[in-house]
Amino acid sequence: MVFLIELRRRPLKWLLLIFLLTLFILHHRQPQTLVLLNPLTSWLVKAKSPYYSKNESRYYSWETKPFFPPLPTASNNRPSDFCASFPTYLLNSIQVVLKTGAGEPAKTKAHLTTITSCIANLIIFSDLDERVGNYHFIDILTDLPHSYAVNNSDFDIYTTQKHAHAQGDAKAYELHPDAKWFIFIKPDLDSTEMHYLGSPAPGSEGRMFAYGGAGFVLSQGLIKRLVGGQRIGESGQNVKNDYYRDAVLGYAILNKTGVKLEALYPTFTGDKINGLKEWERTRPFNKKPLVHSTLLAYTHSHLRDGPTREFWDNLSNIVLFNNSTAHSSASACSSACAADPKCLQYSYSARTCRFGDFIKLGSSVERSKGEFTSGWDTEKMEKLGFRNDGDTSYVCREATWLRPN
């Protein structure tokens, strides 16, 4: 009764309170939906989440359930068993396409024996029609108009690879038009909308494109708009004029759809994948990942005895100005490093102080060369997650994801 009377007296106040409480409940149930409602709800999420900076939201947390969980046992697994728990039903809506060339056998083998080995409907585009084991390599250049090669002096091997990449997108859609996603999938995205995702690489005129070596994503909505019955002959001039083959697709997407690359590094990374598959498939799911802090606790175990090391060069290479007081002694060099927010380590020898904005181990120096002291700013390192005892539980409480930019 008292609540009803108060509601009549101050309706706006109570309605606002009810609205805020409702948003708070929604945020806990589905935070990603709340961010999209309006600036007020976005502010509420930012105020609560530690993964938002003052100026922009760079990270977000999201609890995921693996579609492809690790094997129940972590040893004595035959290679054929690695795909035992693979969710083959997802291939109805996902089309994975491997674009390669005859001159890239090592890279191709790395893919076929690791991340794509469980993809039953894998499509492989190349510049040579051949069969390798159970895989059929489709020569995508056979679909190029014959007129395009006429009077085209730059139709060499690298240029043909550029055309193969551009032509392959239309061919992939032709072979599997019902696929909702091409290459990879992100379940919180709408496949009918236009998305171009990948690891960013700089192109001409300040434009960014997805680095093909790291893989990239084209949603169904985008590839429908992009292809639209167009064959490669219609955009041949753009292909000729750009040096980078991956850039051709990026520029075609931008010119025809207006969609820019959604940069997702390091989720999409060009790092080598050889050797990762067995570790990934046999590592216990509930085991914490190996992080840089764990490695530092091993390589820099000497820091348990103190932050400095005599007759040691830690490869610091940033030499300070000649008139700096840091050159007077190793102690002064250490103090100067502590005062510089970018300095993580230093070295001092021959009346020269050097900084390092990285963390390296280095190697010993002969005593006959005289004084050579190296030190590490353990306070800054601890803020980055380094612990002498290797315990990372206090900094790795939950995984965070980098937002597209």
What CATH number corresponds to the domain at position 301?
3.50.4
Strands 363-364 and 312-313: antiparallel
Q: Are residues 137 and 226 located together in one domain of the fold?
A: yes
- Cβ contacts of residue 159 below 8 Å, gap of 6+? 239, 240
Pick the closest to residue 208 from 198, 218, 217 (CA basis). 198
Alpha carbons 267 and 286: distance in angstroms, whole number: 20
3-class secondary-structure state, position 375: strand
Q: Are residues 213 and 274 located together in one domain of the fold?
A: yes
Residue 74, Cβ neighbours under 10 Å: how many? Answer: 13
Tokens encoding 300: 């820099």
Q: What CATH number does residue 90 fall under?
A: 3.90.550
Question: What is the pLDDT at residue 317?
Answer: 94
Alpha carbons 167 and 127: distance in angstroms, whole number: 11
Q: Do 170 and 99 form a contact (C-beta atoms < 8 A)?
A: no
Residue 157 is which amino acid?
I
Tokens encoding 51: 């993964």
- Cβ contacts of residue 73 below 8 Å, gap of 6+? 282
Pick the closest to residue 303 from 210, 187, 181, 389 (CA basis). 389
In a domain, 336, yes or no: yes
Length of the chain: 405
Q: Are residues 262 and 296 located together in one domain of the fold?
A: no
In a domain, 63, yes or no: no
Residue 179 C-beta-side C-alpha neighbours within 13 Å: 28
Alpha carbons 185 and 60: distance in angstroms, whole number: 18
In a domain, 38, yes or no: yes
Secondary structure string (H, E, C) spanning 123-158: EEEECCCEEECCEEEEEHHHHCCHHHHCCCCCCCHH
In a domain, 403, yes or no: no
Q: Do 357 and 386 form a contact (C-beta atoms < 8 A)?
A: no
In a domain, 65, yes or no: no
In sequence order, what are the beta bridge partners of 363?
A: 313
In a domain, 53, yes or no: no
Question: What is the pLDDT at residue 185?
Answer: 33
Q: Are residues 257 and 222 located together in one domain of the fold?
A: yes
Question: What is the pLDDT at residue 327?
Answer: 95
Question: What is the pLDDT at residue 145?
Answer: 65
Number of structural domains (the chain) is 3
Q: Are residues 195 and 320 located together in one domain of the fold?
A: no
Question: What is the pLDDT at residue 33?
Answer: 38
Q: Are residues 264 and 225 located together in one domain of the fold?
A: yes
- Cβ contacts of residue 216 below 8 Å, gap of 6+? 183, 196, 197, 198, 199, 210, 268
Q: Are residues 228 and 96 located together in one domain of the fold?
A: yes
Q: Are residues 210 and 312 located together in one domain of the fold?
A: no
Q: Can the peptide bond before residue 87 be classed as cis, meaning omega within 30 degrees of 0?
A: no
Query: Measured in whole angstroms, how far is the alpha carbon of residue 116 from the centre of its chain?
Result: 18
In a domain, 395, yes or no: no
Alpha carbons 302 and 309: distance in angstroms, whole number: 8
Residue 96 is which amino acid?
V
Q: Are residues 270 and 366 located together in one domain of the fold?
A: no
Question: What tens digit of pLDDT does each residue of 141-178 get?
Answer: 776 666 655 655 555 554 555 555 566 777 888 888 99
Alpha carbons 260 and 263: distance in angstroms, whole number: 9
Q: Are residues 137 and 247 located together in one domain of the fold?
A: yes
Question: What is the pLDDT at residue 149?
Answer: 58
Tokens encoding 37: 């409602």
Provide the domain limits for residue 232.
79-278
Question: What is the pLDDT at residue 326?
Answer: 95
Q: Are residues 158 and 101 located together in one domain of the fold?
A: yes
In a domain, 270, yes or no: yes
3-class secondary-structure state, position 161: helix
3-class secondary-structure state, position 396: coil
**Residue segments in the chain with a per-residue pLDDT below the cut of 70:** 1-59, 62-65, 72-81, 143-167, 184-190, 229-244, 270-280, 283-291, 388-405
Q: Are residues 205 and 351 located together in one domain of the fold?
A: no
Q: Which secondary-structure segment (H or E) carries 401? A: strand 400-402
Pick the closest to residue 251 from 284, 282, 226 (CA basis). 226
Question: What is the pLDDT at residue 295?
Answer: 77
pTM as predicted: 0.42
